Amino acid sequence: MKPLQSVLIVEPSEIVYQGLRSLLVETGRFNILAQLAEATSLDDRLPSIRPDLLIVNPTLLSSTPKQQLASYARLRPAMPVVALVYQYVERSLLDNFRYVIDIRDTRSTLLATISSALNSDISENDNAGQSDNYELSDRETDVLVLVAKGLSSKEIADKLHISVHTVNSHRKNITHKTGIRSVAGLAVYAMIHNLMET
């Protein structure tokens, strides 16, 4: 059996924390550490808590988020940091994060984002935490078809009534699952799989 990944969630809302916690526990791959409601003492506590993954509400970071994240990276170099978003967050703040989960993400999108965060940061022979579901979800398929038709992320967001941010997260997952990056390549994928009928 693969070792569980320890996850530290820094999030004040009990509802959000419990929801995320049960989603992660359900997979049987994560061990959720105690909830932290604020990020101020995180620097001191990281060395003793030793999480494998940090999920943090970006609005809790100090006024110098870049420095703060750099200090986490110094303390836990192999620990990926995922931003947890459910309110308006400044673009410039979000740009500090390579991985972002949105409260409106589907279960599979959320898990895929977390898997890819862990996967890219753990050694190659250890693929614990990696989801083995590589089939596209229904929502990802919807996004794929619109990308293949040449729509921009903004246009797709408007059409599906979701945020641009969620669209980009779907696009990332589509590329992660299929290995295809270019719009032309995704169009070929969609046509081969008969997704372009409508």
Partner 1 sequence: MFTPKMKLADLIAANHNIILLLPRFGIPLGFGEKSVRDVCSAHNVPADFMVLICNVYTYDDYLPDIKQLAATDMRPLATYLKESHRYYTLERLPHIEEHLHHIADRIGGRYEQILKQFYADFRNEIEAHFQCEEQYDFPRLLSLQEGIKGKSIAMSHSQKSHGGLVDKLNDLTQIVYKYLPGNVLPEETMELVFDILQLSADIQKHALIEEKILIPYVNYLERSLK
Binding site for partner 1 (CB under 8 A): 178-182, 184-189, 191-193
Please report how close the Cβ of residue 122 comes to partner 1 at its closest, in angstroms.
Answer: 22
For partner 1, which is the closer residue by CB, 19 or 179? 179
Element (H, E) at 61: none
For partner 1, which is the closer residue by CB, 15 or 192? 192
For partner 1, which is the closer residue by CB, 20 or 144? 144
For partner 1, which is the closer residue by CB, 13 or 178? 178
For partner 1, which is the closer residue by CB, 13 or 141? 141
Q: Which two tokens stand for residue 91?
A: 């673009």
Please report how close the Cβ of residue 37 comes to partner 1 at its closest, in angstroms.
Answer: 42
Please report how close the Cβ of residue 197 comes to partner 1 at its closest, in angstroms.
Answer: 11
Please report how close the Cβ of residue 192 comes to partner 1 at its closest, in angstroms.
Answer: 5
CB-facing half-sphere around the CA of 131: CA atoms within 13 A: 21
Residue type, 171: R
Sign of the four-CA dihedral 9, 14, 20, 26: positive
Place of tokens 């919807």: 142
Please report how close the Cβ of residue 116 comes to partner 1 at its closest, in angstroms.
Answer: 17
CB-facing half-sphere around the CA of 48: CA atoms within 13 A: 6
Give CB contacts under 8 A, 24+ apart, made by 72-79. 72/42, 72/43, 72/46, 75/43, 75/46, 75/47, 76/46, 76/47, 76/50, 76/51, 78/52, 78/121, 78/122, 79/46, 79/51, 79/52, 79/53, 79/54, 79/121
Please report how close the Cβ of residue 178 comes to partner 1 at its closest, in angstroms.
Answer: 7
d(CA 43, CA 2): 28
For partner 1, which is the closer residue by CB, 6 or 175? 175
d(CA 48, CA 135): 38
